[in-house]
Structure 1
Amino acid sequence: MLFDTPFVSLSVNKRGRDFCIGDLHGCREMLGRLMDAVAFDQGRDRLISVGDLVHRGPESVRCLRLAETPWFFAVMGNHEAMQQGAYYGAIHSSGRSVSSMCEYDGMNDPLWPGKPDQAHMEGILQRLPLAMEIPLRDGRRVGILHAGLPAEWTWDNVRAISDREEFLFEKLRPGLQPAILWDRQPIIAATAAVYHTEESELRALYPTMRRYQFSQVTKPVAGLDLLVSGHTTLKKWPLAVGNRQYIDRGAGKADGSLLMVELGTEHYWEVPDPRHDPSMPVSEHTGFKRAGHDLPWLTPEELATMERTGRPPGDPNVQLFYPGLRDDNF
């Protein structure tokens, strides 16, 4: 992928409020309902996006062009990466990866490769950063990544991608770019923690190796106060684990919704898809579904085995059921 600036740092918003939305997926009308509900002021407030502005919904181009406005700031999602790949020939436009995304209008979709304004759309895509950092008035620093950040990386690793040449050639940390766009491991572990709070239940449902993996990927992101991501659609609630928030609720799907949170809080608004409820009522909530990052994932006996052998026992290649996540994520 091509990036003009892989990492962007915003300044503190001293005049208004900062909001963040989940994956938008072409649903501009739903976004308008949320903006009206919070009395969004385009001259003072800012709207941050976790990416996936395009595909699925009816107004992908209109949503992508939000990135040209002075109050809207988005990182690249995997769907923007796929669209960019289609434009550059990495994904054939007649293949499932693109044609199924233009499901409203098919080859008449304005984002279909070869359309007259392709160069304009390419330019917008290229200007989307992969990562963003936003300081709050209280001194906290909030990071924005589309999918999230696996535990083996810190926020300092992410900040280092501001060196465009080094990053494009993966000289810094090979694999960081696809992880930021596609990774699901932390949120899978977080949903396991939320839906199975009893130690015995965790042990019964998840083998030792997988519980060990969960214990690692739910550690707080080092070097950052809060990380906000989307990508993986949650069934019922936005989710928090440690200093991570996940806010994708499935916009662009007939039974999905779009969520907007006031940045740095757990105060959020949600609107359903008009195909589910044409009146699109906006609901207001406080509090995410929260999982502790310090759960007793492993028993004392399992920890003793790890100390003795240097590795957790068990088979890591076990097919599992992930509660709390929509089946169409996989």
Structure 2
Amino acid sequence: MLSREELTDGEWAVLEPLLPKSNHRCGRWRDHRQVINGIIHRLSTGCQRRKLPERFGPWQTVHKRHMLWSADGTWERLLQHVQAAADAAGEVDWNINIDSTSIRAHHHAAGAPRSTATSRCLKRGRVKITSHARACGRCGLPGGGGAAGEALGRARGGLTTKIHLSADGRCRPLSLLVTPGQRADCTQFEPVMDKIRVPRLGPGRPRRRPDSVAADKAYSNGVIRSCLRRRGIRHAIPEKSDSKSARLRRGSRGGRPPGFDKVRYRARNTVERAVNKLKQFRAVATRYDKRGYVYLGTVTAAALLIWLRS
């Protein structure tokens, strides 16, 4: 029987046709299944890459493959394909929920050097800039520099990273974003919504608009409500007590209270359960990756496994 750290035959049958066939510099890849099993083992156990069991091949191969696929968006494309297949089968609940969670960063996650092989390849155009451009600021790309550019922030407990995510009604992540730990949730609402993109297996544009959105009071402000109204999306976001008091003090000039569906809001726990599923992977629950784009790839690979095994 296969262990939890290995792909089943059914999961491999889904992923195999989507994987690249050859390396642009070194010819054919080492066995994809063996390397992916090594990545999953590290995801599940959080072990050091140097201590990977020998059955997964050289640890350098596992590490470099994960870095490359995190930089060029391979993990994201695999996740979108699995989401598209589920959507075509009518298995996606588009009543989504949005939230964030703070991740404690190991002290080994700090101190990323300013130049790496991956960043040089990105500069020279050898790797398509996708997830790396959104997460890393070390290579002259958007996102700033220093710890903030690597999605590391300071909190009372030390270095932290925050994962912002949306989840469907079946507790599966639809979109993911990583920021420094002190970043406010409300500032990342629109970026998280913009990353929702489920392609069609046949003709047609990717689906980007959910049926409804639920979020907690951290997302309760006029900018977010206006954004949802413009897109025609129903929402269930409770009003903050101070906002309610200010509105009542203004009397008739304060306007009407925002609509709130208590029944719909009860389903918001699905995003909390999606967070719990992600944190079952020890390499997600504690950040060990120095680079922000590599950690985003780690979280995306964990989300891919959740979709495959749901």
Give TM-score, length-normalised by structure 2: 0.24
Structure ranking higher in helix proportion: 2
Give TM-score, length-normalised by structure 1: 0.23
